[in-house]
A and B are shown apart, each in its own frame.
Chain A
Amino acid sequence: MQNILEVKNLIVSFNNEKVIDHLSFNLRQGENLVIVGPNGAGKTVLLKTLIGMIPFKGEIKWQENIKIGYVPQRILPERNIPLSVNDFFKFKSSILPDLKIDSQKVFESLKSVGISDLSILEKKIGVISTGLLQRILIAWALIDSPQVLLFDEPFAGIDIEGEETIYNLLSQIKKERNLTIILITHDLNVVYDFADSVLCLNKKLICYGSPKRVLTPNSLSQLYGGEIKFYKHKH
């Protein structure tokens, strides 16, 4: 399958300290790439660099005219801010004036993230629960039909509503919309269930490949430092 992203010798430095050091990897169309690593390993920095938020050395080559959706770790609206969820969606049309965002598009992307109760559009964004807000952020990213979605730790601090986790949702969205996904997580279980490839990052590339092949006790202890015991859950 075709590569839609090629990264070669990527270096990102803050104040002369290398936060990402000579990283190379590829992303194929339709692939689920999961990035794992300890806190401060440069995972979020990597995502931000990939979408052009942070200066870098080396090469980042996206397929031409690719549309990328980005879901940040969190947004922090003030509780009382008079900004409805609908207002938040309307921002998208002022950012992308070429894109006509009508209510139909908003409904569709909300449906994709499992929200069918449209009364949520009238709610203030600051009072929405963390889990629901995460879904709204995903819907926000989906509204202009990106080919690639970049998710930053959607598992942290999420209240799971019913049986459906964000991760089930992602698999479903992926099927529906034929997406390629890059996902950052702390939860190694997700890696086995979800990832086609895993990239272990701790400033440098520690391991990269299919999860079963590269997530060895050796690579994990190298990644997290010292002894770490992790066994794949048997379902």
Chain B
Amino acid sequence: MDNQFFLSLITGIFVSGVAGYLGSLMLTKRMALVGDALGHIALPGIGLALLLGLNVSFGAFVFLLLGVLLIWFLEIKTYLPTEALVGIIFVFSLALGFLITPQPELLEALIGDISKVSDIDAVFSIILSLFVLYVISKIYPKIMLASISEDLAVASHINIKKYNFIYLLTIALIVALGIKVVGSLLIGALVIVPATASRVLSRNLRQYTLISGFLGVLSCVLGILFSRITGLAAGPLIILICILFFIPSLILKKEDNRV
């Protein structure tokens, strides 16, 4: 196994695992499409980073941070539904991103390219993934409680606004990191497909979070391996494998899935 391949694989494993874990929380909060939207919001940042020769994840994160702050601010000020606000900001970013991103790099921005990850990139991705993992594990029970009963959460002195903000920041970080792996078009799938499959299979939180993370890792490893064998782009392969795991989960638990 050559060094570059190993770097890609290890970076992918950490980022996808944490993306799957975070996705389990996003699904519970009915924010399945937020990852998708944020992926698009990052596009102008990716374009600028490619133009200026900066790290793609860094460029993406700066724009995501601006996007998240804007959404959070508008949510408090206007009381409009979050999804509407996200929707508007995301199409704005998409339009802007297409104009900014240089044509040859556009494809990389859209579907990612894990094969070119540098060792510094890898180290940063791993450290930040572990950081996000730690933060989510701390805020998970509080956000989960607030999502089933805001009353109980507030009565338990949980500062919901504060935790929601931290939670949005972790999404921004994971989206920025994941864009390297599967690109801005597909990052939404990386956070939500493993969690959806896991949700069908799980009976409790432990199973739910573990299976989500595990399916993320497994899809990524298989996707990168297939990419090496076939020469096809890793990003779309990873997502297709994610979805392959989702289909049998539906068949396995057909009974329970009816509401």
Quick check: which of B59-67, B102-110, B147-155 contacts chain A, the rest being far away? B147-155
Q: Say whether A72 contacts B256, CB under 8 Å.
A: no
Given contacts A53-B155, A72-B149, A83-B148, contact A122 B204 (CB under 8 A): yes
Please indicate the chain A residues that have their CB under 8 angstroms from the CB of B156 in the complex: 95-96
Given contacts A48-B151, A70-B152, contact A122 B203 (CB under 8 A): yes
Quick check: which of B40-48, B115-123, B128-136, B137-145 contacts chain A, the rest being far away? B137-145
Please indicate the chain B residues that have their CB under 8 angstroms from the CB of A1 in the complex: none
Out of B149, B158, B204, name the residue touching A87 (CB < 8 Å): B204
A84 within 8 A of B: yes
Please indicate the chain B residues that have their CB under 8 angstroms from the CB of A51 in the complex: 155
Given contacts A51-B155, A70-B152, contact A82 B207 (CB under 8 A): yes
A165 within 8 A of B: no
Size of the chain B interface, CB-CB below 8 angstroms: 26
Q: Which residues of A70-90 have CB atoms within 8 Å of chain B's CB atoms?
A: 70, 72-73, 75-84, 86-88, 90
Query: Residue-by-residue, is B196-225 near A (CB-CB < 8 Å gives 1, otherwise 0)?
Result: 001100111111100000000000000000
Q: Say whether A76 contacts B149, CB under 8 Å.
A: yes
Q: Say whether A79 contacts B155, CB under 8 Å.
A: no
A135 within 8 A of B: no
Given contacts A87-B205, A91-B144, contact A80 B149 (CB under 8 A): no
Looking at the assembled complex, report how far the CB atom of A34 sits from the nearest CB atom of chain B, in whole angstroms.
20
Q: Say whether A124 contacts B155, CB under 8 Å.
A: no
A198 within 8 A of B: no
A183 within 8 A of B: no
Please indicate the chain A residues that have their CB under 8 angstroms from the CB of B208 in the complex: 82-83
B28 within 8 A of A: yes
Please indicate the chain A residues that have their CB under 8 angstroms from the CB of B247 in the complex: none
The CA-CA distance from A79 to B257 in the complex, in Å, is 9
Please indicate the chain B residues that have their CB under 8 angstroms from the CB of A140 in the complex: 152
A13 within 8 A of B: no
Q: Say whether A125 contacts B205, CB under 8 Å.
A: no
Please indicate the chain B residues that have their CB under 8 angstroms from the CB of A124 in the complex: 203-204
Enumerate chain A interface residues (CB-CB to B < 8 A).
48, 51-53, 70, 72-73, 75-84, 86-88, 90-91, 94-96, 122, 124-125, 140
Write 9 A-B pairs (CB below 8 A) sorted by A numbering: A73-B151, A75-B149, A77-B148, A80-B256, A82-B198, A82-B204, A82-B208, A86-B204, A124-B203
Enumerate chain B interface residues (CB-CB to A < 8 A).
28, 141-142, 144-145, 148-149, 151-152, 154-158, 198-199, 202-208, 256-257, 259
